[in-house]
């Protein structure tokens, strides 16, 4: 395939992670999220969640990302597979050309990307910090396993951020379940600005939603569904 075609395809894949193609028919309402009741210190919960997700041998989870402009609207999604210590496979669900694209961190440490059915001849290696791995909310998709995300929370706490949590599960109607809420705040200009809000399923101990805030305003929402662990995933499933 001519190099110019590879460049065009690479740019197309890049738009998958860096664009914000919102689908208006999937808008969701977060207007009642401030009704969360009492709060307690959340630093111990944050550390517990890091350690418990670090102990997971393997798992898979489906995710859907919403970007706020200004209301949350769907921007993309996929299925994440993870196996200790750091094997990752992300299968993209999208509309059109990028649907079925797969990104992996292989057992040999290389990061590979392969196009879906409409780009089946496209495969290439990527640097770990490539912009092609950046989701619309700025997170690196290859570094988005739960333990890595909670490690980032603990690092922010060590740098001066604060955490608070609900002392008991609270019911969030739109999630159709009771969850424990962990909220991260950063002191700024005499106030504590919310930077992240995580909704934890008390039965599985993993997030069902992870919200990011920018300048105190909701910036992105990542919903997680159909979590399953200890699947016996094989190394070959993380190779391209």
User: Are the beta carbons of 202 and 169 closer than 8 angstroms?
Assistant: yes
Determine the pLDDT at residue 74: 86
**CATH code for the structural domain at 3-238:** 2.50.20.10
pLDDT tens digit string along 127-171?
Answer: 999 988 888 899 999 999 999 999 999 999 999 999 999 999 988
Q: Annotate the chain with three-state secondary structure.
A: CCHHHHHHHHHHHHHHHHCCCCEHHHCCCCCCCCCCCCCEECHHHHHHHHHHHHCCCEEEEEEEEEEECCCEEEEEEEEEEEECCCEEEEEEECCCCCCCCEEEECCCCCEEEECCHHHCCCEEEECCCCHHHECCCCCEHHHCCHHHHHHHHHHHHHCCCEEEECCCCEEEHHHCEEEEEEEEEEEECCEEEEEEEEEECCCCCCEEEEEEEECCEEEEEEEEEEEEECCCCCHHHHCC
User: Could you give the CA distance from residue 198 to residue 177 in angstroms, rounded to a whole number?
Assistant: 14
pLDDT tens digit string along 5-30?
Answer: 444 444 445 444 444 343 334 445 55
For the chain, give every domain's residue range: 3-238
Q: Is the pLDDT of residue 184 over 70?
A: yes
pTM across the whole model? 0.86
Total length of the chain? 240
Give the residue carrying structure tokens 């662990």.
Answer: 229
């Amino acid at each position: 395939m001519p190099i110019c075609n590879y460049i065009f395809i690479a740019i197309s894949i890049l738009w998958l992670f860096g664009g914000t193609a919102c689908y208006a028919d999937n808008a969701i309402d977060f207007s009642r999220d401030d009704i969360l009741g009492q709060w307690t210190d959340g630093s111990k919960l944050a550390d517990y969640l890091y350690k418990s997700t670090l102990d997971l041998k393997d798992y898979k989870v489906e995710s859907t990302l919403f970007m706020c402009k200004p209301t949350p609207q769907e921007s993309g999604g996929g299925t994440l597979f993870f196996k200790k210590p750091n094997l990752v496979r992300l299968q993209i669900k999208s509309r059109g050309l990028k649907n079925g694209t797969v990104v992996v961190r292989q057992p040999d440490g290389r990061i590979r990307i392969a196009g879906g059915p409409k780009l089946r001849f496209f495969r290439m290696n990527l640097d770990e910090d490539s912009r092609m791995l950046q989701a619309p909310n700025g997170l690196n998709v290859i570094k988005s396993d739960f333990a890595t995300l909670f490690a980032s929370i603990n690092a922010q706490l060590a740098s001066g951020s604060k955490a608070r949590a609900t002392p008991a599960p609270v019911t969030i109607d739109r999630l159709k379940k009771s969850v424990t809420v962990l909220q991260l705040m950063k002191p700024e200009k005499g106030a504590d600005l919310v930077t992240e809000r995580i909704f934890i399923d008390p039965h599985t101990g993993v997030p069902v939603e992870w919200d990011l805030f920018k300048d105190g305003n909701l910036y992105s929402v990542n919903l997680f569904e159909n979590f399953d662990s200890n699947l016996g995933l094989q190394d070959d499933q993380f190779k391209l």
